[in-house]
Homo-oligomer: A and B are copies of this chain.
Amino acid sequence: MELERHGRHFQEELEQLKTRLLEMGGLAEEQVRLAVKALMERDRELVALALNGDEPINRLHIEIDGRCFTLLALHQPMAVDLRAIVAAVKINTDLERVGDLAINIAEAARRYAQHAPVKKLIDIPRMAMIAQTMLRDSLDSFVRRDTDLAQRVLNEDDKLDALKTQIFRELLTYMLQDPGTIEAALDLILISRHLERIGDHATNIAEDVIFMVSARDVRHHAGEGQPSH
């Protein structure tokens, strides 16, 4: 039905938009992976790579925004197509922020490498893996309009929160026992919060997907929302 109304051209444009968002998601995920690898390996070159890697994401951010405007203006989509494009606008913003957070992680990794390591890092790479998977799954759920997968993303968020709290408590103990670790431990705490926020962005995306598919608003436990049309 949508296909008939808007014609093949619109659907092709929409597919291209999705491809671009997936591409951007892949870049953002790679940036996070790189920043955390730079942290783990205390590697200056990797830090530099991560710090300078946001350019393609920023270019895509602007391009995708432009595509959304064009689709809205030229094709005046309705119902699920309209919701898909508005979701794309929001997802685009979320992915750009993930890119920014990867930069923040790389900056903290650079500082961290200037101090003696506080401890063997186990929970931070674990958080990174969870956040990256959430990000990938949230985008897959968008492309496939898969609300079950989106719901699984929402369920993962508690794990990140628990790990963040655990990391905080452990590092606090280190700081109290040895004030010489304070500066380095602070950077690890900040990194764990950046990773938590990456999970929050994946959560936002998953919520947008559920709204897009079902016109049901799961934010703020709103229950049954108003279908937009």
**Which of A's residues lie within 8 Å of B, judged by CB?**
58-59, 61-62, 65-66, 68-70, 72-73, 76, 78-79, 82-83, 86, 89-90, 93, 172, 175-176, 179, 182-183, 186, 189-190, 193, 204, 217, 219-220, 222, 225-226, 228-229
Q: How far is the CA of A216 from the CA of B202 in the complex (A)?
A: 28
Q: Is the CB of A220 within 8 A of B69?
A: no
**A219 and B82 in contact, given A69-B229, A90-B93 (Cβ under 8 angstroms):** no
- Min distance, Cβ A174 to any Cβ of chain B, angstroms: 10
Q: Is the CB of B219 within 8 A of A62?
A: yes
One complex includes copies of this chain to the number of 2
| A and B contact pairs by CB, cutoff 8 A, 6 listed | A58-B222, A69-B82, A69-B83, A69-B86, A72-B72, A93-B204
Q: Is the CB of A73 within 8 A of B82?
A: yes
Q: Across the two chains, which residue of chain B brings its CB closest to A74? A: B229
Going nearest first, the 8 A-B pairs with the smallest beta carbon separation are A69-B228, A58-B220, A76-B76, A73-B229, A179-B179, A175-B182, A62-B222, A66-B226
- Min distance, Cβ A133 to any Cβ of chain B, angstroms: 23
Residues of B within 8 A of A82 (CB): 69, 72-73
Which of B86, B89, B182 is in CB contact (< 8 Å) with A182? B182
Residues of B within 8 A of A70 (CB): 228-229
Q: How far is the CA of A220 from the CA of B193 in the complex (A)?
A: 24
Q: Is the CB of A183 within 8 A of B179?
A: no
Q: Is the CB of A176 within 8 A of B182?
A: yes
- Min distance, Cβ A213 to any Cβ of chain B, angstroms: 14
Q: How far is the CA of A73 from the CA of B5 in the complex (A)?
A: 14
Residues of B within 8 A of A89 (CB): 86, 89-90
Q: How far is the CA of A217 from the CA of B62 in the complex (A)?
A: 8
Q: Across the two chains, which residue of chain B brings its CB closest to A90? A: B93
Residues of B within 8 A of A186 (CB): 172, 186, 189
Q: Across the two chains, which residue of chain B brings its CB closest to A204? A: B93
Q: How far is the CA of A228 from the CA of B72 in the complex (A)?
A: 10
Q: Is the CB of A73 within 8 A of B172?
A: no
Q: Is the CB of A219 within 8 A of B61?
A: yes
